[in-house]
Amino acid sequence: MKYGSKTGLIFFPAFDWAISPTHPEREERLLYTRDQIFEEGIMDLPQIAEYAPALASIHDIARLHFCVPNVEAQTTEAHLIAAGAAILLADNIVKGEIKNGFALVRPPGHHAMRVVHGNRGFCNINNEAIMVDYLRTRHGLKKIAIIDTDVHHGDGTQDIFWHDPDVLFISFHQDGRTLYPGTGYTYELGGPRAYARTINIPLQPGTTDESLLYVVDNLILPILKDFKPEFIVNSAGQDNHYSDPLGGMRITANGYARLTEKLRPDLAVLEGGYAIETALPYVNMGIILALAGLDYSNVREPDYWPGRFKESAERTMHVERLVDELLQRWEMRDKTSPDSKKITGNYYTRGKHIFYDTDYIEENQVEKLKICNNCPGYLLIDSEANHGHSRSGKVLCISVPFTACGACRSEAAGIYEQTKKSAQYKYIYLQDKTADIFFSYNTEGQIEWRSEG
Partner 1 sequence: MFVGIDVGGTYTDAVLLDKDQVRAFAKVPTREDLLDTLIEAIDMIVRDADKQKIERIVFSTTIITNLIAERKYEYVDLLIMPGPGLSHDCYKYKPYVHIISGAIDYRGREVISLKEQEIEAIMLEIAKSGSKNVGVVGKFSTRNTSHEKQVAKIINDKYPEWNVELGAKIGSQLNFPRRIETTYLTCATREPYHHFIESVRQALIKRDIHADVFILKADGGTIPLHGSEEVPVETIFSGPAASTLGVLALTGPGETAVVVDIGGTTTDLALILSGQPLLSAKGARVMDRLTQVRALAVKSLAVGGDSVLNIVEEEINISGQRMGPAQCLGGPSPTPTDALRVLNMTDLGDRDKATAAMAVLGEDLNLSAEEVARRVVDRVVDIITAEIKKMFLEWEQEPAYRIWDILHKHAIKPTIVAGVGGGAVGFTARIAEKLGCRTVIPQYSTVANAIGAALAKPTMQVNLRADTEQGYYIIQEEGHQEKISDRDFNEQKALALAKDSLVQRAAKYGVEIAPGEIEVTRLEVFNMIRDWNTTGRLYDITVQTPRGIVSRIRMGE
| CA dihedral over 337, 431, 352, 426, signed as positive or negative | negative
429 is an interface residue for partner 1 by CB under 8 A? no
Nearest one of 2, 132, 114 to 67, comparing CA atoms:
114
The binder of partner 1 chosen from 7, 8, 14, 392 (CB under 8 A): 14
DSSP 27: G
Q: Is 300 in the site for partner 1 (CB under 8 A)?
A: yes
> Pattern of binders to partner 1 over 258-297, x per CB under 8 A?
-------------------x---x---x---x----xxxx
111 catalytic? Reply is: yes
Q: In what order do the strands lie in the sheet with 395-400?
A: 343-344, 347-356, 361-370, 379-386, 395-400, 427-432, 437-442, 447-452
Q: Which of 129, 145, 299, 400 binds partner 1 (CB under 8 A)?
A: 299
Q: Which is nearer to partner 1, 285 or 380 (CB)?
A: 285
Q: How far is the CB of 307 from partner 1 (least distance, A)?
A: 17
| Binding residue (CB under 8 A) for partner 1 from 72, 73, 77, 450 | 77
226 is a contact residue toward partner 1 (CB under 8 A) = no
Kindly tell me the burial class for residue 450, based on how many C-beta atoms sit within 10 Å of its own C-beta (0-12, 13-18, 19 or more): exposed
First to last CA, the chain: 23
Count of other CB atoms within 10 angstroms of residue 230 = 17
- How many other β-carbons are positioned within 10 Å of the β-carbon of residue 323? 19
The catalytic residue among 65, 79, 110, 111 is: 111
3-class secondary structure per residue, 329-349? HHHCCCCCCCCHHHEECCEEE
Q: Whose Cβ is closer to partner 1: residue 227's or residue 296's?
A: 296
Nearer to partner 1, 32 or 195 (CB): 32
Is 76 or 312 the residue whose CB approaches partner 1 more closely? 76
State which residue, 79 or 370, has the beta carbon closest to partner 1: 79
Q: Which amino acid belongs to residue 253?
A: A
Q: Give the nearest distance from C-beta 294 to partner 1 in angstroms.
A: 7
CB under 8 Å to 340, separation ≥6 — which residues? none
Asked if 38 touches partner 1 (CB under 8 A), the answer is: yes
Q: Do 291 and 268 meet the contact criterion of CB atoms below 8 Å apart?
A: yes
Q: Which is nearer to partner 1, 52 or 366 (CB)?
A: 52
Tell me the backbone φ, ψ of residue 90, rounded to 5 degrees: -60, -45
Q: Is residue 31 near partner 1 by the rule CB under 8 A?
A: yes
| DSSP-derived 3-state class of residue 49 | strand
| Choices 27-35, 115-123, 156-164, 348-356 (CB under 8 A): range interacting with partner 1 | 27-35
Minimum distance from residue 52 beta carbon to partner 1 (Å) = 5
Select from 6, 127, 5, 9 the least CA-distant residue to 61.
127
Q: Is 363 helix (H, G, I), strand (E, B) or coil?
A: strand
Judged by CB under 8 A, does residue 188 bind partner 1? Answer: no
Residue 22 makes contact with partner 1 by CB under 8 A? yes
Which string of x and - marks every residue 46-65 that binds partner 1 (by CB under 8 A)? ----xxxx-x----------
Contacts with partner 1 by CB under 8 A lie at 10-17, 21-22, 26-28, 31-32, 34-36, 38-41, 43-44, 50-53, 55, 77-78, 81, 277, 281, 285, 289, 294-300, 302
